[in-house]
Amino acid sequence: MSTPSANNPLFADLDVEIFPDHPIGQETWYAVGGHADMMLRPRTTEALSKIVRRCNESEVPLRILGSGANLLVADEGVGGIVLKLDHPHFREVSYNLEGAPELIRAMAGADMQKTMHETVKRGLGGLEQMAGIPASVGGAIRMNAGGAFGEIADSVHAVACLDRRGETVVYPREALKMDYRTTNLPDAPILWATFELKDRDPLNLRERMREIFLYKRKSQPMADKSAGCAFRNPTDPATGERVSAGMLIDRANLKGRSIGEAEVSERHGNFLVMRTGAGKATDLIRLIDVIKEEVSADSGIELQTEVVIWDRG
């Protein structure tokens, strides 16, 4: 089904801001790519719930735009509806849930780094492994974000999603399967997540957080226009062990390889950067394809993208 128009009655009665033909590519960390036919910014859970239900009933595709740190939007843009959960309601973080100081709830639009910093300040350990990983809480949960120091699954207590009817379904920790960059959550909007943290010395937590930041700063091109790791670390079919995608890219002599303004970082092979603001998403997509082909030819290992690519397909 085509995207509803801005004055379509499908959303006219809801507490929502409507942005037709919105340049979502510019809201990603790459700052390239096309427009969304329509972006919606709901202000309440009730409005979000009704949007989800109506889109499913009308068979209108629905996507969630988080922080844009792990996203590449194709130059032709995307159809359907793009949701942006950045209203203050969806960025709230609640502490001391049910009288338990170690239990917090973060709405899906909450900033992961701000949330992590606040928990460290309060002497609550369990999220400091997320230092230096830009994401909304919902995006981090969806891909089980993490790195060498741990992943968000380490502290997840429960996750709430909206089903096709727009109703809230809560998945407790024991129902969740959160593996390397994947979860068993349904393809549905995440509403909030709770985290069970631990009482720790704030000074020790701050030092640990600083160590992780410094490690990332030394090894990754954090100042460049990038979306973090472009590829997942694959499993070597010969050994069954996970290997570094950056190492495979380096061994294939791909550091510095460029197409248009897109380039494989000289600092870390698994980071693709835009050298100037004049590049196109097509440059990055073509470079991703070249990397996959040449790594496969060099090592026999197939790379899978970690960065999410949105197009009209």
Active site residues: 181, 229, 306
Closest CA to 281 of 262, 306, 256: 262
What stretches of 148-266 adopt beta strand conformation (E)?
A: 150-151, 156-162, 168-172, 178-179, 182-183, 190-196, 198-199, 225-229, 258-259, 262-264
Instruction: Count Cα atoms within 13 angstroms, Cβ side, for 64.
Output: 26
Distance CA 289, CA 297 (A): 12
Rounded Cα–Cα distance for residues 85 and 13 (Å) = 18
Pairing label, strands 81-84, 62-65: parallel
- Confirm if 65 and 83 have CB atoms less than 8 A apart: yes
**Sheet containing 271-274, strands listed edge to edge, beginning at the edge strand earlier in sequence:** 225-229, 271-274, 262-264, 258-259
